[in-house]
Structure 1
Amino acid sequence: MDVVLQALVPVFALILLGQFLRRMHFPGDGFWPLAERFTYYVLFPAMLVFKLGSASIPPSAYGQLLFVVFALVGVMTLQVVVIQLFWKWPGAVFSSVFQGSLRFNTFVGLAAAGLLLGDEALSLFAVAIAIMIPLLNLLCILMFALVIGQGPVQWRSVFGTIIRNPLIIGSLAGAVWGFVGLGFHPLLVGFLAPLSSMALPLGLLTVGAGLQLKALRGASMPIAVSSVLKLCVFPVLAAALASLFGLEGLIVKVVILLAALPTASSAYILARQLGGDASLMAGIISGQTLLAMFTMPVMLSLLW
């Protein structure tokens, strides 16, 4: 527990600092959206290329991650659907519960993986997100079409958005670079290393700045259900499936960490664009991010 806490306390301290600075309107309200965009499109892709390109990942790890991620997402999707049969929430509410139960905060995950487990785990985590991001995006778009149905899904636009995702591009480029074994010239290291170092702290600050604490007023059952599923059930299921599939070592820890993360900040954008309950989604994102300060150390200590 002590080792986990020592690694996670700085992660959540930066998130809380970002929220504090945003509430103080420092350095200005216009700064934070631009900082998040810069981190998402420049800093994180550079870090993924640098870390993955420098890593030596065994080919078997790619297949293992692909298999366990698909199984994990499939089982969790079935659980959420079964719960909906019981609660019978309106489509817009269910869409937020669905996203809150399955999606994950990439910024928090990459920071936690690097601080807790080192660069090798960071590289494995990058491979996992390259698999999981397109899968979850497709599932969420399909779910919105089924439960809200504001017209036919524009699949060409969906696939285009996924293909252009900078985190996927960075992960794939870094994986190919590392697989080929090109290495990095010292001049390229001098360029990528500072960008890589900036990514995690600035990314965590923007996560904190993006929290909408007012959305937690009158916290509802959908927030509670999605939080229990995402922060408790998901990591336990990940540990069970990893054991069932005979996975060992660092890859097991990476899968459990991935499952234990709070939901993604970008889920709010999708809810707003596709007719979901955006205010509920903001509450789920903010509530889970704060709850993860307590659940992640406990779950990781118990399951690792």
Structure 2
Amino acid sequence: MAAMHALLSGFAPIWILTGIGYAAGRSGLLGEQAEPVLGRFVFHVAMPAALFTMVSGSRPAAFAHPAMVAFAAGTALVSVLGYAAGRRFFGRKRAEAAVSGMASGYVNSANLGIPVAVHVLGDASFVAQVILFQVLLVSPVVLTLLDSGTQRGGSAADGLRRMLTMPVRNPVIMASLLGVAVSAAGWRLPTAVTHACDVLGAAAVPTALVTLGLSLCGGPAGRGHPSAPDGTGRVTGRTEVGVAVALKTLVQPLAAFLVAGPLLRLPGHQVLAVVLCSALPTAQNAYLYAREYGLDTGLARNSVVASTVVSMGTLSFAAWALGPSH
């Protein structure tokens, strides 16, 4: 009962804020440009502030924990499978296949993972490590694929130049790198600066969820962005979404369990933490990245919504099967 209450407490803000965005979109309250404007605000302003605050106060050495090996293995497996499925079976080009991989393996660790971990596990220390892993390792890989996949023409030298300068051009990566630098140097920033970043970063998740709700109204970005590199503007099929959701909610936690349990033989509470975090639904970041790079947002958007519904069952099962009573 306590685990179910924790899940409902974690899911409620997601549904409420997404519903607010959908209602605002249907009513036209925020105007036709609300989705792209809010999306750019999150990607270029609020999210970098949140990431800088989080990373600058972290200790990346926590990645050495054996439980992170299990989580990373599951994430790598399903992300590669999602990318390969997008390329081979659904005809996606490199950038859109990167979104497929992200939809399959990038978990909603912040606004859902933290409340679930606090109520089910008793603390959110492992979720904090998961967040850092995704921010510092997974996101740069995905963004590199997105950047190179949306590049039109140019020589090999131009491609190399774009790759080397991407941290400067991409606010998400730049904020993360600045945070690492501050953390490694042991600096303590002025209170006014950290407070401003905290306040601004706090707007990232709710604004992203409202933006996701706006996209559910069936606007152009939801049906396939007109500036998508392949020029198809196609609607994402149910099979493609189903594959991404199955990888995210079933294969990823199963792979993490096999590595954490039979392979590494971690203690039961660590196995539970790894499986719970791996079973979290797709993060809304997948949708934001696809929108920012002018790609078809259908797969990312629908995967976020569908995996959030399915994960209510998988998370409940994981908490029951691996919880202290078992």
**What range describes the TM-score normalised by the shorter chain of this pair?**
0.7 to 0.9
**CA distance in structure 2 between the partners assigned to 1:44 and 1:259 by the alignment:** 23
Seq. identity, % = 18
Residue among 168, 189, 193 paired with 2:198: 193
Q: Which of 74, 92, 95 is 1:72 aligned to?
A: 74
- Per-residue displacement from partner, 1:6-38 (whole Å, max 9, x unpaired)? 112212321221122122212222233222212
Choose the corresponding residue for 1:132, options 116, 138, 142.
138
Residues 44 and 242 of structure 1: CA distance in aligned 2, closer, same or farther (over 3 Å): farther
More helix by share: 1
The Cα RMSD (Å) is 4.1
Aligned to 2:20: 17
Q: Tell me whether 1:234 sits opposite 2:249 in the alignment.
A: no
CA contact (8 A) 2:48 2:176 kept: yes
Of 7, 11, 28, 2:10 maps to 7
Matched, 1:38 2:41: yes
Shift in Å, 1:3: 0.5
Q: Kindly tell me: are residues 255 and 133 of structure 1, through their superposed partners in 2, closer, same or farther at Cα, counting changes over 3 Å? A: farther
Letter of the structure 2 residue corresponding to residue 43 of structure 1: A
Q: Which residue of 2 aligns with 1:59?
A: 61
Match of 1:299 among 306, 314, 317: 314
Residue identity opposite 2:254 in structure 1: V
Change in 2 beyond 3 A, CA 1:83/1:196? closer
CA contact (8 A) 2:111 2:205 kept: yes
1:224 aligns with 2:224: no
Q: CA deviation at 1:4?
A: 1.8
The amino acid of 2:77's aligned partner reads: V
Distance 2:65 2:170 in 1: 22
Counterparts of 1:81 and 1:107 in 2: how far apart (Å)? 16
Contact between 1:43 and 1:196, CA under 8 Å: does it hold in 2? yes
Aligned mates of 2:73, 2:25 — CA distance in 1? 39
C-alpha contact (below 8 Å) 1:109/1:258 kept by paired residues? no
Q: Give yes or no for the alignment of 1:48 onto 2:51.
A: yes
Partner AA of 2:204 in structure 1? A
Matches within 5 A, 1:148-297: 154-161=159-166, 164-211=169-216, 213=218, 215=223, 219-243=237-261, 244-245=263-264, 253=273, 256-257=276-277, 260-262=280-282, 264-265=286-287, 266-267=289-290, 272=295, 278=296, 282-297=297-312
Aligned-partner residue type, residue 36 of structure 1: G
Farther-moved stretch of structure 1 (130-139 vs 263-272):
263-272
Q: Does 1:100 align with 2:97?
A: no
Any stretches of 5+ residues in structure 1 without a counterpart?
A: 273-277
- d(CA) in 2 for partners of 1:152, 1:43: 34
SS at match of 1:111: coil
Which amino acid is the alignment partner of residue 239 of structure 2?
M
Task: Report the CA distance shift for 1:73/1:186 in structure 2 as closer, same or farther (over 3 A).
Answer: closer
What is the Cα deviation at residue 133 of structure 1? Answer: 1.2
SS at match of 2:305: helix
Matched positions, count: 289
Tell me if structure 2 keeps the 8 A contact 1:21–1:209: yes
User: What is the CA-CA distance between 1:132 and the residue it aligns to?
Assistant: 0.4
Structure 1 residues 147-179: Cα deviation after superposition (integer angstroms, max 9, x where no partner): xx9897734324533554322332333344344
1:29 and 2:44 matched: no
CA distance in 2, matches of 1:37, 1:251: 38
SS in 1 for 2:32: coil
8 A contact 2:108–2:281 mirrored in 1? yes
Worse-matched range after superposition: 90-99 or 19-28: 90-99
- State the one-letter code of the partner of 1:160: T
Q: Is 167-176 or 15-24 further displaced after alignment?
A: 167-176
